[in-house]
Amino acid sequence: MLDPASGPQGNRTLLPPSVGIYLQVTEGEDAGRRFDLSRGGAFTIGRRGSDIELVDPKVSRKHAEIQVLARDQYFLVDHGSRNGTRVNGVRLNRRRLRHNDVIRVGDTALQIMVVESGIRPDGSAA
């Protein structure tokens, strides 16, 4: 499981230190949790054993994956989940993500937040 304060283990592509990419859980049993994706690489979304571990019973064990490739290149890929994956209300298999996009897996909503240096994830100045 990805600790909200750190990224997953393994070989990751480092993003410029001036950029932070976060995934904020806005709805569901995990609401309020925030995951740091700034190290780059691939992050699985799912139940127990995933990088982004959710308790939602409608989420598959390995539901989807966020791929952070570069500062402005991050993608969501559905792993053939039973209940599907939606971004901004549209069901998909793969999609490039943008700041403020809302991902829905099961009954959980997660929002992508991209912040520049000097800005906190909540949008306030550092």
111: CATH: 2.60.200.20
What pLDDT is recorded for position 116? 74
In a domain, 2, yes or no: no
Residue 5 lies in a domain: no
Confidence (pLDDT) at 19: 72
As a whole number of Å, the end-to-end CA separation of the chain is 28
Burial class (CB in 10 A: 0-12, 13-18, 19+), 78: buried
pLDDT for 10 equals 40
Which range of residues forms the domain containing residue 53?
19-115
The token duo for 62 is 């390995």
More reliable by pLDDT, 64 or 124: 64
- Examine residue 120 and state whether it is found in any structural domain, yes or no: no
Residue 10 lies in a domain: no
Q: What total of structural domains would you count in the chain? A: 1
Residue 59, Cβ density class (10 Å: 0-12 exposed, 13-18 middle, ≥19 buried): buried
pLDDT at 12: 41
In a domain, 28, yes or no: yes
Average pLDDT of the chain to the nearest whole number: 84
- pTM of the predicted model, to two decimals? 0.78
Report the percentage of the chain scoring pLDDT > 70.
77
Segment 39-93, tens digit of pLDDT: 899 999 999 999 999 999 999 999 999 999 876 789 999 999 989 999 999 999 9
The answer as to whether 77 is a domain residue is yes
Summarised one tens digit per residue, pLDDT across range 5-49 is: 444 444 344 444 567 899 999 999 999 999 999 989 999 999 999
